[in-house]
Amino acid sequence: MIRERAYPVEPWHVREIRLDMDVLAQSESVFALSNGHVGLRGNLDEGEPHGLPGTYLNSFYELRPLPYAEAGFGFPESGQTIVNVTNGKLIRLLVDDEPLDVRYGELLSHERVLDMRAGTLHRELHWRSPAGREVKVRSTRLVSFTQRAAAAINYEVEAVDGPLRLIVQSELVANESLPAQSRDPRVAAVLESPLLAEEELTTDDGGLLIHRTKVSGLRVAAAMEHEVQGPEHATIESEGYEDWVRTTIGCVLKPGETLRVVKYLTYGWSSRRSLPALRDQVGAALAAARLDGWEGLCREQRAYLDEFWDAADVLVEGDPEVQQAVRFGLYHVLQAGARAERRPISAKGLTGPGYDGHAFWDTEMFVLPVLTYTQPNAVRDALHWRHATLEQARERARTLNLEAAAFPWRTIEGPESSGYWPAGTAAFHIAADIADALRRYVLVTGDTQLEREIGLELLVETARLWRSLGHHDRNGVFHIDGVTGPDEYTAVKNDNIYTNLMAQRNLLAAADAVNRYRDEALHLGVTDEEAASWRDAAADMHIPYDDDIGVHQQVEGFTRLQEWDFLHTPAEKYPLLLHYPYFDLYRKQVIKQADLVLAMHWRGDAFTPDEKTRNFLYYERRTVRDSSLSACTQAVLAAEVGHPELAHTYLREAALMDLHDLNENTRDGVHMASLAGAWIALVAGFGGLRDHDGTLSFSPRLSSRLSRLEFSLQWRGRRLRVDVRPHQTTYSLRHADPDDVVELRHHGEKIQVSRDQPVTVPVPPADPTGPMPEQPPGRSPLLRLPEAQS
C-alpha cells in the first residue's frame, strides 16, 4: 500500500516528497496524465526504473484469443486488449558519460507534483553521480486538453558544479518490454511486441514512427520535435530504426547554466486512414503545438481547467484528506472523458492496463452521472459511442436468441470481450444503465436533439430487449429470469431487483420517448401496441420481497439462502473470489458489492423510507465490498437512512482508494468509478441530490466532522451552487439570465432560485438513526476518521 506520508495533504496538489521504489507502479498510475484520447503513465523521464511503462490511445487495441477449458455456444471467441503504444516520454540524461539513474549515485532530493489546476506533472530532482558530479533536473509534463493529439515536456538541466558535459537523448520507442500480463501462452504471444513497423522518419530535431497491430490491423503514428535553449555550441542530431527514433542534444554547461529542451509529442491512430494520411495528421498536430509553444500550451491548459473547476469544484471543510481526494477524483474523471470524443471511458481511463482497457457498466452508473452534472459534452460523446456499437449489440442479441440489442459487459470497440459468461452474458442490466445515462443527460442538459437523433433508438432497442428477455407468468406478473445484477457473487438468478427496477424505468422512458417522437418511432417500426406492451411490462414488473422479515430480496429467494460463515472467514481470504469457488459464493448470502442498495440509490423512488432503512440494515451485514464500486453507494444510503458517520467512513474509502492503494492494485491504473464515487458520496450522500422524477431534489445533511460542503452542478446551461452548512443550505444560480428560475426541492419542500435571489433554507434536524448498521466481521470500512486535532 502507498504510505500516507508519501503524499502530503494539499487541497490542489498531489505531491510525492520522496521516491519510494516499493510503490513506483502505484505512483505511475496516480501521476498519469490524459485527455481521454492520449494517456501517459507517470513514468520517470529517463524510463528506468519503472513499475509498468505505459502510453495509451483510447480504443487502440489488439485482438487476442479468449481461452476456455470447455467452450460453449455463444461464448466470445476473441477479446480486445489495450496496447502500450509508442513511448514518447523518454528523455535520458548522461552526465559526463554517466547515465542519470536514481538507483545509482546519490539522489539528494526528489519531488513530483500533480497540479490539478495547471493540468501538469512537475518533477524536480537533485542528483550526484557515482563520479561525484551534481545536476538539478526540472521537468514539467502535460497532455493537452485543448489540442487532442498533443503532449509536451519541458525539460531543464542545471549544472551544480562543472563544467559538465551533458548528453540528452530524447526518444520514441515502440514495442517496449512489459511485465507479463497473462499466463496463457496464446495471449502472451499476441501481446508481446504487438506492433509491426511500417515507417520511420528522422529530421534534425525529431522524428516519426508508424506501426500497425498484427491482428486487429490498427495503424498508429507518433511524432516528436524539439526546441533547445542552452549554450551556443550545443549540438542536435537524430537517428532512427524501425522501433525507435532518437534525438541527441549535447552541450557543456558551466556551473549555474541551464539546458532547456521542450519536447512536443503528437499521436494519431486509425483503422481506415492510409499511412500518408496518418503521417500528415501527426505532422499537422506537431505544427499546431509548436505554433502555440510551451507557454501557450500551458496557458490553454490552465484556462480549460479554470472553466472546468468553476463548474465542477467541490469544497469540503472538516476533512482535508477528502478535500484533496475528491478533487483528485474529479481530475482523473475529467482526464478519462474530456476528449474521448465518441470513444469509451474505460474502468481505468488511460492510466494503466487494468481490465485490458475495457469499459464496463461502471461508466454509465458511476462516471457519467458525475460528468453529466460537471462536463456534459463528454457524456454526449460517450452516448454516441454506445450508439455506434448498436449493430454489434444487435448481433450479440441474435447469437443469444434474443431480440433488439444486447450490449457487452466489457468491451473496447463493441464486441463482448468477457470469457466469463455469468457476467459477460448474463449481466443484462447494462442495457438499462445505458438508458438511464441517456435519460439523465437529456434531463440535465435539455438536449432533445441528441435524444431524437440517437437517444430514441437506444431506448427502443433496450426496451425491446427487456420484452424479449422477460416474460409474464400465468398470474400476469412480469419476470426477468437468469440474469446477473451488479453483485457478481449472486449470479444467474431470477428477478434481480436492481435489474428489474432499472428495466422498469427503461421501459417507461422508451414509451414516453415514442410519444414525443412519433415519426421517428414509426421509422424504427414501433407500433402503439408495442409501446403499450412496454408499459404493461413495467407495471407488472416483479419486485421480490420477503414478507416474513420485511425486506426486499436482492434476487428472488435470496433471503432463504444459506448464510455465509463470516466468523470463520479469515481476513487473508478476502477478496473471496480469489479463495473460494464461485459455486460456493453463488448459493449463499454473501454480497461482493452494493446491488439492492445500489437500486435504492438510483431507483429510490421505488422504496419507502422505512423500507430503505430495513433493507440497508439487512444487506449491510452481508456485503463484503470485494469491489471498489461498493463503498460510495453504501455511503449514499448510509447518509440517507440516518447514519452520517458511517457514510463518512465509506466516503473516505471510496475517495482514498488510489491515493492509499487500499485494494493493492492501483499499479494497474486508478479506479475511475471509485474516484467518481467520491463525488457521488458527497453530492448524492451528504448533499442528498436525486433526479428521479425530472426535478432536482436535495436533502442535505452533514456528518459531525464536516462543517461545510459546497458544490456546483450544471443544469440546462446554468450553474447551480449548493452551499451546505450544519444548520442551513444556500442555493444560488450563476450563468443565467436575470429572469431565469430553477425550481427544486429541499427536503421535500419546493423552492425557486434565480440569479439575483439566492435562497437560504434551514436543514431540518435528523430523525433518530435507529440501530447502528453492522458489517460482516472484519469488513468494516477501511479508513476511519482521523482523530480530531486539538
722 φ, ψ to 5°? -120, 120
**What is the DSSP secondary structure assignment for residue 690, as one 8-state letter?**
B
- Least confident interval from 81-85, 333-337, 341-345, 782-786: 782-786
- Please give the model's pTM, rounded to 2 decimal places: 0.96
Largest CA distance in the chain: 91
Give the containing element (helix H, strand E) for 280: helix 275-312
> Is pLDDT at 103 greater than 70 in this prediction?
yes
Residue 264 burial (CB count, 10 A): 27
87 φ, ψ to 5°? -85, 115
Residues 645-668 pLDDT 10s:
999 999 999 999 999 999 999 999
Q: How many helices (H) and strands (E) does the chain have?
A: 21, 33
Average pLDDT on 369-388 reads 98
Average pLDDT on 228-252 reads 95
Burial 360-374 (b: 16+ CB within 10 A, else e): bbbbbbbbbbbbbbb
Angstrom distance (rounded) from CA 45 to CA 185: 32
Angstrom distance (rounded) from CA 770 to CA 643: 9
Q: Which of 139, 129, 133 is nearest to 160 (CA)?
A: 133
Contact by Cβ (8 Å): 168, 259: yes
Contact by Cβ (8 Å): 79, 66: yes
706 φ, ψ to 5°? -100, 125
Q: Show the 3-state SS of 43-60.
A: CCCCCCCCCCCCEEECCC
- The predicted structure's pLDDT at residue 767: 79
- The predicted structure's pLDDT at residue 2: 52
Q: For the chain, what is the mean pLDDT?
A: 94
Question: Catalytic: 488?
Answer: yes
Residue 474 burial (CB count, 10 A): 5
Angstrom distance (rounded) from CA 566 to CA 437: 36
With vertex at residue 564, the alpha carbon angle to CA 560 and CA 565, rounded to the nearest 5 degrees, is: 135
Residues 135-162 pLDDT 10s:
999 999 999 999 999 999 999 999 999 8
Q: Which of 248, 206, 251 is nearest to 232 (CA)?
A: 251
Name the pLDDT band for 192 (thresholds 50, 70, 90): confident
> Is pLDDT at 551 greater than 50 in this prediction?
yes
Grid coordinates standing for 467? 420484452
Name the pLDDT band for 78 (thresholds 50, 70, 90): confident
Q: Could you tell me which residues come within 8 angstroms of residue 449 by beta carbon, excluding any fewer than 6 positions away? A: none
Average pLDDT on 487-514 reads 97
With vertex at residue 438, the alpha carbon angle to CA 697 and CA 464, rounded to the nearest 5 degrees, is: 120
- The predicted structure's pLDDT at residue 177: 85
* Cis status, amide bond into 163, omega within 30 of 0: yes
**DSSP β-ladder status, 13-16 and 106-115:** antiparallel
Residue 210 burial (CB count, 10 A): 24
Task: Taking the CA atoms of 170, 174, 175 and 180 in sequence, report the sign of the dihedral they define.
Answer: positive
Q: Could you tell me which residues come within 8 angstroms of residue 287 by beta carbon, excluding any fewer than 6 positions away? A: none
Residues 590-621 pLDDT 10s:
999 999 999 999 999 999 999 999 999 999 99
698 φ, ψ to 5°? -130, 140
Angstrom distance (rounded) from CA 131 to CA 378: 52
Angstrom distance (rounded) from CA 238 to CA 260: 17
- The predicted structure's pLDDT at residue 220: 98
Angstrom distance (rounded) from CA 78 to CA 215: 11
Grid coordinates standing for 580? 473460494
C-alpha pair distances (Å), 175 with each of 202, 352, 358: 19, 16, 21
- The predicted structure's pLDDT at residue 660: 94
Contact by Cβ (8 Å): 709, 698: no
Average pLDDT on 553-576 reads 96
Angstrom distance (rounded) from CA 513 to CA 638: 34
Grid coordinates standing for 546? 420477503
Angstrom distance (rounded) from CA 701 to CA 642: 9
Catalytic residue among 158, 413, 457, 488: 488
Residue 180 burial (CB count, 10 A): 9
Contact by Cβ (8 Å): 77, 419: no
Name the pLDDT band for 182 (thresholds 50, 70, 90): low
Task: Taking the CA atoms of 197, 150, 116 and 138 in sequence, report the sign of the dihedral they define.
Answer: positive
- The predicted structure's pLDDT at residue 70: 79
| Site of grid cell 506533472 | 121
> Is pLDDT at 708 greater than 70 in this prediction?
yes
Name the pLDDT band for 188 (thresholds 50, 70, 90): very low
> Is pLDDT at 401 greater than 80 in this prediction?
yes
Residue 68 burial (CB count, 10 A): 12
Residues 31-60 pLDDT 10s:
999 999 999 999 999 999 999 999 999 999
Angstrom distance (rounded) from CA 65 to CA 13: 42
Average pLDDT on 9-13 reads 97
* Cis status, amide bond into 575, omega within 30 of 0: yes
Helices (H), 412-546: 421-424, 429-445, 448-450, 456-469, 497-516, 518-523, 528-539
| Strands of the 258-270 sheet, one edge to the other | 13-16, 106-115, 120-128, 134-143, 150-159, 258-270, 219-229, 206-213, 195-203
Name the pLDDT band for 187 (thresholds 50, 70, 90): very low
Please, is 185 exposed, middle or buried when counting C-beta atoms within 10 Å of its C-beta (0-12, 13-18, 19+)? Answer: exposed
> Is pLDDT at 790 greater than 50 in this prediction?
no
| Site of grid cell 499476441 | 190
Angstrom distance (rounded) from CA 85 to CA 61: 9
Amino acid at 707: S
Contact by Cβ (8 Å): 555, 493: yes
Give the count of alpha carbons within 13 A of 393, CB side only. 25
Angstrom distance (rounded) from CA 77 to CA 418: 9
Grid coordinates standing for 503? 428495466
Please, is 564 exposed, middle or buried when counting C-beta atoms within 10 Å of its C-beta (0-12, 13-18, 19+)? Answer: buried
Amino acid at 77: E
Contact by Cβ (8 Å): 255, 160: yes
Give the containing element (helix H, strand E) for 225: strand 219-229
Contact by Cβ (8 Å): 668, 657: no
Angstrom distance (rounded) from CA 442 to CA 510: 13
| Site of grid cell 496464446 | 186
Give the domains, in start order, of the chain with CATH numbers: 32-273 (2.70.98.40), 340-624 (1.50.10.10)
% of the chain with per-residue pLDDT over 70: 97
Residues making up the binding site for substrate? 361-362, 592-593
**What is the DSSP secondary structure assignment for residue 560, as one 8-state letter?**
G
Contact by Cβ (8 Å): 332, 349: yes
Q: Which of 461, 467, 463, 459 is nearest to 442 (CA)?
A: 459
Name the pLDDT band for 789 (thresholds 50, 70, 90): very low
**DSSP β-ladder status, 551-552 and 33-34:** unpaired
> Is pLDDT at 759 greater than 80 in this prediction?
yes
Grid coordinates standing for 661? 492503494
- The predicted structure's pLDDT at residue 6: 64
* Cis status, amide bond into 353, omega within 30 of 0: no
